[in-house]
Copies of this chain bind each other. A is one copy, B any other.
């Protein structure tokens, strides 16, 4: 493994979920990684301005902020609260100097089976939030989630569907996340990556693997690149060919990785990136 810097690698903070903001930043810097993907909760805990200063003083880029979204509520009060929360998240994204706010759009409201309606409400909400994103100079990044999360997390399940929504707005304001875990299964994924890149809508490229069996908590089924079933070469080549020049985040939710020491997790994430992703960028 070369000792040269992985100049486009970003550690998503969720990969070391239990680290504080400062611990995550310190572990990232210690590994020679130039960028970090932040989450709102640890940022809020340390303070927004303090976090922005700490990251800046550490010399790190912020590749994205996770996350906004949850835009499917029917009830007016819940809908207004969601929009307000997303407006705060947009402000935070700008304050941290991140280019994009990742959106998990939300599942079905309690008792509802109306996927089409929920999807329309997502689009309508983006119509409002895209103006705030423009004002703040950041891009809203719709993350299609694996279809196993359609009922409870995200009614947007494919890259094509995310782009059908995003393309109703200016590309400066609304893009999409390409997360290998969520999209690798899609027979249409390569042309949709090309489509996303052609209009400048790849907001973020996130890498982690699809492992089996599906974890008891289905959110935690991810793994280090190389431990599962995903072909990172074809996906990474497609993202590169589509013109994406941003950072590549490693974002893993997995209990045994969360339970491991931060430095070893960071080192393994980095080495897998260098082996399985970086050669194809």
Chain A residues bordering chain B, tally (CB within 8 A)? 33
CB distance from A209 to the nearest CB of B (A): 10
Write out, one digit per residue, whether chain A residues 118-161 have a CB within 8 A of any chain B CB (1) or not (0): 01000000000000000000000000001110111000111001
* A45-53, A92-100, A108-116 - the one binding chain B: A108-116
CB distance from A50 to the nearest CB of B (A): 37
Given contacts A148-B148, A229-B151, contact A187 B161 (CB under 8 A): yes
In the complex, what distance in Å separates the CA atom of A157 from the CA atom of B214?
17
Residues in B neighbouring A18, C-beta threshold 8 A: none
Given contacts A185-B157, A214-B218, contact A113 B230 (CB under 8 A): yes
In the complex, what distance in Å separates the CA atom of A119 from the CA atom of B185?
11
7 shortest interchain CB distances as A-B pairs: A150-B185, A113-B231, A151-B229, A147-B185, A148-B148, A161-B187, A214-B218
Question: What is the interface of chain A, defined by CB distance below 8 A to chain B?
Answer: 108, 113-116, 119, 146-148, 150-152, 156-158, 161, 164, 184-187, 210, 212-214, 216-218, 228-231, 234
